């Protein structure tokens, strides 16, 4: 028999004790990992060099065992559709066209527990019921990560930027500085709303038709950027179009990439995602401003005279001392990313609210009376917005009935195996989500859930005597539009105040009409307001 030549060059021959030592070390490595740190230099055979080939074999076996273990845990979760390797792919293609029906079937069969559905690039575990929602709410980031799920959902490495998912410091800026400064910046935001409406919707005596979604994009992008970069850039049409187009492209490219297997994503993304061009354009718009602010800070310190109170300044404050984060390129990527968050959901929510208001003129006078009363008492301020309980209820009910932007809510990705309170285990690396629209249409949560009741939540607040419990910004087990728990949307306070300011301007200045609320559009698991529907506007008429 030929002698066995060890990978480190030792002639190990056919010695039984040597083979036993090798097997014992392999077993220890498979069970406990490579000992003594660096797998490349660990000496399995007491030789002088690392056992590279053996290490690669060991790692391959460990990965194979991990796949088998994960599959076994997933197999314990019921499947809606087929669980076979080939048949699940067929069902994944069906999901692209029938996501809503498939998820509804799963909810009926497995309400209050977990089930899984095959997507083209992964399995999605889906849960429903307050117990499961509460389990996700209580989970830590190290157990279930919202950001990891968002990186996958938005395919951030290709669409927005890897750095945003790797170091999401902007979340703390939004939760902290942005929220604290809403009141201080609110007059500027309202001024921009007024200017944007004047530019995009003529105030005429005759009815004019307006593409609701397209105009909402323009107005909301301008209003948000008044707080992000200020004048005059927030009125630069090229800059506004850049952020709108980048937002639309980011989501549309992400939807496409999520339909592909992982190995194809970088190839397709290279040819289809316009992120590099968007970043280059943003650098041209923001470069001079960023360099000037950095210079002023170097000369005069953080609180230099004239330092603007806006998002760009807050991002600079948050990255003080982190040189690699304070480049024109990195800050431009961050500003594009912040705009994606600000534009996307707020525009869709406002579009839906506008449709409902235009289709139901019987709600207008009640809302106008409240708006005028609060503004008379508080001025056109954030404090006045906070007291508009009926407007808040109207917007929240719109979100409840029309606002779920797909079948999934509260998406998370397991960083380690996660056990629900009933013992169901979600293996590490697997995504889990709540059936959000079913939560909002559940008879256990809402009386007459399919009926639009504009004062549903304001009446609840009045009846229960709890001023904050049923506010639009307050997540609960039966209202998860903004998520719930540690990862609830950090920008929801700004978004809700912005939405109220937009609705106030319309109520105070326009009459609006549409025959009926247009049906939503679906693409795979995602839902959108109708982007081609028009709403008729005219200057408000006063009645005696």
The C-alpha atoms of residue 520 and residue 518 are separated, in whole angstroms, by 6
Reading phi first (left if > 0) and then psi (alpha if -120 to 50, else beta), residue 161 is in left
The C-alpha atoms of residue 531 and residue 445 are separated, in whole angstroms, by 30
Kindly list the distances between the CA atom of residue 153 and the CA atoms of 122, 258, 266, 508, in Å, as whole numbers in the listed order: 11, 7, 15, 39
Kindly list the distances between the CA atom of residue 355 and the CA atoms of 211, 245, 360, 403, 482, in Å, as whole numbers in the listed order: 11, 23, 9, 12, 21
User: Residue 386, Cα to own-chain centre: how many angstroms?
Assistant: 25
For CA atoms 442, 448, 449, 453, give the dihedral sign.
negative
Kindly list the distances between the CA atom of residue 186 and the CA atoms of 59, 344, 497, in Å, as whole numbers in the listed order: 56, 20, 9
Which residues are annotated binding-site positions? 489
Residue whose C-alpha is closest to residue 401's, from 461, 475, 453, 362: 453
The C-alpha atoms of residue 198 and residue 192 are separated, in whole angstroms, by 10
Give me the half-sphere count of Cα atoms (radius 13 Å) on the Cβ side of residue 308. 21
Which residues are annotated binding-site positions for heme? 489
- Cβ–Cβ < 8 Å for 339, 208: no
Please give the biggest Cα pair distance in the chain: 109
The C-alpha atoms of residue 447 and residue 336 are separated, in whole angstroms, by 41
| 76 token code pair | 């314990």
């Amino acid at each position: 028999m030929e002698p066995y030549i060890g990978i480190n060059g030792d002639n190990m021959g056919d010695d039984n004790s040597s083979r036993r030592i090798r097997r014992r070390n392999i077993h220890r490595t498979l069970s406990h990992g490579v000992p003594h740190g660096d797998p490349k230099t660990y000496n399995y055979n007491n030789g002088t060099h690392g056992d590279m080939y053996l290490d690669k074999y060991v790692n391959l076996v460990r990965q194979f065992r991990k796949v088998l273990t994960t599959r076994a845990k997933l197999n314990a979760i019921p499947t809606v559709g087929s669980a076979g390797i080939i048949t699940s792919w067929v069902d994944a293609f069906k999901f692209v066209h029938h996501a809503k029906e498939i998820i509804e079937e799963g909810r009926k069969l497995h309400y209050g527990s977990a089930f899984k559905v095959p997507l083209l690039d992964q399995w999605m575990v889906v849960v429903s019921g307050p117990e499961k929602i509460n389990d996700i709410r209580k989970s830590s980031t190290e157990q279930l990560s919202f950001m990891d799920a968002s990186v996958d959902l938005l395919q951030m490495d290709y669409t927005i930027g890897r750095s945003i998912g790797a170091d999401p410091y902007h979340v703390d800026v939004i939760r902290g500085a942005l929220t604290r400064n809403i009141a201080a910046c609110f007059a500027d935001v309202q001024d921009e709303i007024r200017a944007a409406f004047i530019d995009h919707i003529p105030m005429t005596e005759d009815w004019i038709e307006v593409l609701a979604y397209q105009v909402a994009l323009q107005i909301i992008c301008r209003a948000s950027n008044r707080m992000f970069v200020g004048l005059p850039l927030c009125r630069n049409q090229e800059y506004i179009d850049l952020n709108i187009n980048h937002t639309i492209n980011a989501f549309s490219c992400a939807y496409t990439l999520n339909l592909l297997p992982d190995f194809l994503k970088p190839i397709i993304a290279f040819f289809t995602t316009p992120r590099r061009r968007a970043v280059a354009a943003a650098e041209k718009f923001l470069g001079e401003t960023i360099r000037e602010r950095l210079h002023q800070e170097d000369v005069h310190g953080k609180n230099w005279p004239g330092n603007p109170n806006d998002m760009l300044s807050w991002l600079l404050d948050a990255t003080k001392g982190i040189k690699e984060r304070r480049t024109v390129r990195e800050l431009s990527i961050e500003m594009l990313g912040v705009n994606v968050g600000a534009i996307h959901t707020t525009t869709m929510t406002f579009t839906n609210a506008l449709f409902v208001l235009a289709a139901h003129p019987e709600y207008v006078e009640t809302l106008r009376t409240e708006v005028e009363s609060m503004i008379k008492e508080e001025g056109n301020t954030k404090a006045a917005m906070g007291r508009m309980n009926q407007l808040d209820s109207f917007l929240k009910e719109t979100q409840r009935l029309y606002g779920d932007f797909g079948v999934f809510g509260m998406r998370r990705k397991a960083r380690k195996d996660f056990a629900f309170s009933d013992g169901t285990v979600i293996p590490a690396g697997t995504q889990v989500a709540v059936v959000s629209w079913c939560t909002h249409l559940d008879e256990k949560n809402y009386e007459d859930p399919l009926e639009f009741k504009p004062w549903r939540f304001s009446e609840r607040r009045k009846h229960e005597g709890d001023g904050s419990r049923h506010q639009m910004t307050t997540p609960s087990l039966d209202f998860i539009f903004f998520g719930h728990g540690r990862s609830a949307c950090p920008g929801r306070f700004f978004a809700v105040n912005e939405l109220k300011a937009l609705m106030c301007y319309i109520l105070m200045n326009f009459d609006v009409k549409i025959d009926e609320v247009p049906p939503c559009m679906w693409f795979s698991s995602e839902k959108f307001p109708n982007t081609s529907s028009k709403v008729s506007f005219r200057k408000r008429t006063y009645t005696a």
